[in-house]
Amino acid sequence: MKMKQALQTVAYRGIYIVIYSMSLLPIGFLYATASFTFFIVYHFIGYRKAVVFQNIARSFPEKRYGEVHAIAKKFYACFFSYFAEIIKSISAPAKELDQKITFENLVLVEQYINSDRNVIACLGHCGNWEILNFMPYKIRQQIYAIYRPLRSVTMDRLMIKLRSRFGVKLLADHTAVRHILSKNSAPAVYLFLADQSPRTKDENYKFTFLNQQTYFFSGLEKLARKGCTSVIYLHITQLSKGNYKIACIPICSHAELTTEGEITQKYIDLLTENIREEPYGWLWTHKRWKR
């Protein structure tokens, strides 16, 4: 067991050193590498290309093949650029990132926290969602990111290291309920990526999303209502390459006063608006409608 742990530690440190070293390279070089990777993957490997085209075509039935093709191509190009930006952010000075990432209406979060309420900040896989790791630099409140631990201890440890640079604390999904409902923890912000396909189907949480019948997680809304939290949506927009705006949009101030399905429907409406604004920015490689 000790030998296994030692090997995992060596692997973790080795991978981190490589990634950190890469982050010291100029962003122009990283973007060029991303463009080359995009060319190989899109034109030769075709990673999940059929899934991407099918997802876009079904989500936007009004668009012609040429428009679907253009969205798919731009999606792949942006997708690999995000990796370049994530790598660069590992060592980039906070002041440099502050010039590239703009938060709008953060005062809303502070108002909810000051009223002694937890805030659930839900979002989708839109744009470079990893930039939210920078959020603690902008507000003094504690921020937790709900995540599903990886099977690989080495990769899980690496992910926690990379995402916690500015103070985000990662909270395993199976511990989130107990943590949020605990009376011992101070009010905080909890980040939820809520647009993935749930493992189980709940007929009460089946909605029309991008012109398709879609199941959504019921846990987010149930937790918000039971925990008497406030809920906001984080709308991510790519202003230009490497520059983003995150707008805090209210969904509800008192989740316990909403009806079942109300929070989820508002989330879907805002997510749909976010995707339609920048259709190339959503994670189309995900098999969202596999069930």
Note the pLDDT tens digit of each residue in 64-102.
999 999 999 999 999 999 999 999 999 999 999 999 999
Nearest to 33 by CA among 113, 89, 87: 87
Q: Which residues contact 160 (CB under 8 A, 6 or more apart)?
A: 170
| Mean model confidence pLDDT for the chain | 94
Nearest to 141 by CA among 161, 122, 115: 115
pLDDT digits (tens, 9 = 90+) for 148-169: 999 999 999 999 999 999 999 9
Task: Tell me the β-bridge partners of 126.
Answer: 282
CB 120 within 8 A of CB 231: yes
In the block, tokens 């603690």 appear at: 136
Q: With 0-12 CB in 10 A as exposed, 13-18 as middle and 19+ as buried, what is 275?
A: buried
The pLDDT, as a whole number, for residue 181 is 87
Average pLDDT score over residue span 176-200: 88
Nearest to 168 by CA among 200, 190, 152: 190
Query: DSSP assignment, residue 255?
Result: G
pLDDT at 176 over 90: no
Global pTM value = 0.95
CB 195 within 8 A of CB 59: no
DSSP 124-191: -SBS-GGGGGGGGGT-SS-EEEEE---S-HHHHHHHHHHHTTTS-EEEEHHHHHHHHH-SSSPP-EEE
pLDDT at 290 over 70: yes
User: Where are the strands (E) in the chain, listed by range?
Assistant: 101-104, 119-123, 143-147, 169-172, 189-193, 206-209, 212-215, 230-240, 243-252
The pLDDT, as a whole number, for residue 291 is 64
